Amino acid sequence: MPRLFTALEVPPHIAESLSRMRGGVSGARWIDVENYHITLRFLGDVDDAFARDAANALSFIERPEIELTIDQLDSFGGHKPRAIVARVRPDSALLEMQAEQERLMRRLGAPPEPRKFSPHVTLARLRGSNAASVAAYLGARGYFPPLRFTAERFVLYSSRDSVGGGPYIVEAEYPLSEKRAMLTGLAGA
């Protein structure tokens, strides 16, 4: 049974910039740079038939490339921090693509995603880190010049059952293209 999710890849030059923010938090397990991504829809452990149906259904998504901006560090978990993340500005194109994937997966029978979509790149998973040390880390490194890039595709990743952080395997890729989206729009007119 594969464990699947859709995501946008983080280009190597952006990943390298984010990797410079590692260190300084006890209990942090820093994610390998090559595994940085922006999760769009977690599918979980699915059977092979659902995996095939999902991969096929995703191929019908017609969206333009998306301009993304990463502009601050944050943490998830409040008083019991569980992750350090780099926030991605939730612009309308990103939110619309994620919502389309959510609707598509629900039509295929996947349960609704229980969490509100909050676009981010996970930099570290935390175990036993205290809120004060995470707050100090964020205070020292939390704001930086925005990192911008264009997402030219989204992917369907598989992962092994683990604590998280990869390795991830690209099972399918789906191009994003202004030209492709415009042609689809014209065909439907």
According to the CATH classification, is domain 3-187 in 3.90.1140.10? yes
Number of Cβ atoms within 10 Å of the Cβ of 151 = 21
Determine the pLDDT at residue 162.
57
Q: Where are the domains of the chain?
A: 3-187
Q: What is the mean predicted confidence (pLDDT) over 103-131? A: 95
CB distance 134 to 126 below 8 Å: yes
Tokens standing for residue 123: 């930099």
pLDDT at 28 over 90: yes
- 65-69, 117-121, 157-161: which has the minimum mean pLDDT? 157-161
How much is the pTM?
Answer: 0.90
